Chains A and B, each alone.
Chain A
Amino acid sequence: MSQYFDLNLLMTYHTLFLRGLANTVMLTAVAMTAGLVLGLPVGLARLSASRLIRYPATVFVGLLRNTPILVQLFFFQAFAPLFLGIGNNPVFVACFAFAIYNIAYCSDIFRGGIKSIEIGQVEASRALGMNRLQQLRYIVVPQAFRRMVPAFTNRSIEVAKLTTVASAVAYGDLLYYAKLVSDIEYRPIETYTVVALLFIVVLIPFSVLAKRLERHLAASK
């Protein structure tokens, strides 16, 4: 097994690998967008004084966080054709499953960030005659956002790694095509090593950035 074959293999199948990479990026983007946009309302719902709002949100998050993502994927893979009439669509299954999974996780980041704002800020805005929505919108959430940036950066890294699991429902991510090529060519070493290295090379800069942001935040407290 000399290095000579490595390059050749990548060259021959480079379109597949690129497609896989693109799909990995897309799934990550879909999951993070869903998490950032819909995670805030769910996080706020979990902090709501009204039990009617709080309980469903807590159940939703609890279910999604306390079951493995693989099980959720398999479940939706069966659910989609039977209940939604959507057959054999790995893209839909993967995007939907990862989106709601990430909404649950991001809602916890929002919830923690908002709770971390000192009560004095809430009291001062209350005393000025702001209602709950105004307190959150102008005083609490703007301050919380700054604090949550490191957590969301770390979360993005985790999601990027998690997308490899989508290969289990035949979603064409990087790992899916790596496995495909490895199975066809009987070359597991090159394929899996390259994919592992690719993830490492792309994600390490983000990890470094996340660490810097964490330190910056801790320092400015």
Chain B
Amino acid sequence: MYEWNFEPVLRYRHLLWDGLLGTLQISATSLAIAAPLGLLFAVMQLSRLRSLQFIGTAAVYILRSTALLVLLFWFYFAFPAILRTAISPYAAAALALGIQSSGYYAELFRGGIVSIAPGQAEAGKALGLTSGQTMWSIILPQAVRRMLPVFLLTTIDLVKATSLAAMITFEELTYQATHIASQTYRPMETYAVIAAIYFVLFSSASGLTAYIERRLAVSDR
């Protein structure tokens, strides 16, 4: 019978804490890249210029067809070779995660904007607002409320994906786990502990999102 022993793992809990901070840090940076980029692609897809529409749509299709780990390796190994310069794991991870996720954000932004009934845009026009003003004051506020739950869920997926940054030696939680596992020779306990940490993090985030979704649905009627 295997003897579980968490003691060695807990001796390294300062590393777990560092890892958690690393996870949050890379998540924030990637989000700061992905969300604006996604919004840009969404707006391009909705523009009336055919060329912009095409670029936006193509970008989203390409990004949805890229594997994150491949992109991570590409930015960490291939990109610096092309530019003949070094790149930190942090920068490579941020670029890969940010760019890859922007495809998902683009889809949710586009879906949210499109879901607001066209009657709203017409009403805006009838009142004499320009299409820009209509978008800003009438459509976007409603779209934001509708998109919030999906936005939160997509962001949770983003944070989950940061664990792959461990493969390019960025020191987030999963990377620290591999380090601790090799130091303590207790991989089962180590991975069980970080799985628990991730589980608590994501299940509470999902629970909060579901709560927000219910609250928003109630005040919608």
Contact = CB atoms under 8 A, between A and B. Distances in A.
Contacts of B174: 68, 70-71, 74
B77 A164 contact: no
Nearest to A198: B70
Interface in B137-178: 160-161, 163-164, 166-167, 174, 177-178
A195 B73 CA distance: 10
Contact of B66 (A74, A167, A199): A199
B65 A74 contact: no
A25 interface: no
B62 A188 contact: no
A164 B188 contact: no
Contacts of B71: 196
Given A188-B77, A196-B71, A67 B61 contact: no
Determine chain B's interface SS by DSSP, over half rule. Answer: helix
A192 B73 contact: yes
A208 B174 CA distance: 34
A53 interface: no
A82 interface: yes
B81 interface: yes
A187 to B, nearest CB: 8
Interface residues of A, number: 45
A72 B196 CA distance: 11
Contacts of A77: 187
Interface in A170-221: 175, 178-179, 182, 188-189, 191-193, 195-196, 199-200, 202-204, 206-208
Contact of A70 (B65, B74, B166): B166
Nearest to A204: B65
B163 A71 contact: yes
B216 interface: no
A189 B82 contact: yes
Contacts of A164: 67-70
Contacts of A72: 195
Interface string B172-195: 001001100100000110011011
Interface residues on B, range: 35 or more
Interface string A151-183: 000000100111011011000000100110010
B199 A66 contact: yes
A83 interface: yes
A154 to B, nearest CB: 9
A22 interface: no
A63 interface: yes
Q: Which of B2, B81, B166 is packed against the most chain A CB atoms within 10 Å?
A: B81
A78 B189 CA distance: 10
B163 A70 contact: yes
B77 A66 contact: no
B198 interface: yes
A175 B195 contact: no
A161 B66 contact: yes
26 contacts: A62-B203, A63-B195, A66-B203, A67-B199, A67-B202, A68-B198, A69-B163, A72-B195, A75-B191, A78-B191, A79-B188, A82-B2, A160-B67, A164-B68, A165-B69, A167-B69, A175-B73, A188-B73, A189-B82, A192-B74, A196-B67, A199-B66, A199-B70, A203-B64, A206-B65, A207-B61
Given A157-B64, A192-B77, 6 more contacts: A1-B82, A63-B195, A74-B177, A75-B188, A165-B164, A192-B70
Interface of B: 2, 61-62, 64-71, 73-74, 77-78, 81-82, 160-161, 163-164, 166-167, 174, 177-178, 181, 187-188, 191-192, 194-195, 198-199, 202-203, 206
Interface of A: 1, 62-63, 65-72, 74-75, 77-79, 82-83, 157, 160-162, 164-165, 167-168, 175, 178-179, 182, 188-189, 191-193, 195-196, 199-200, 202-204, 206-208
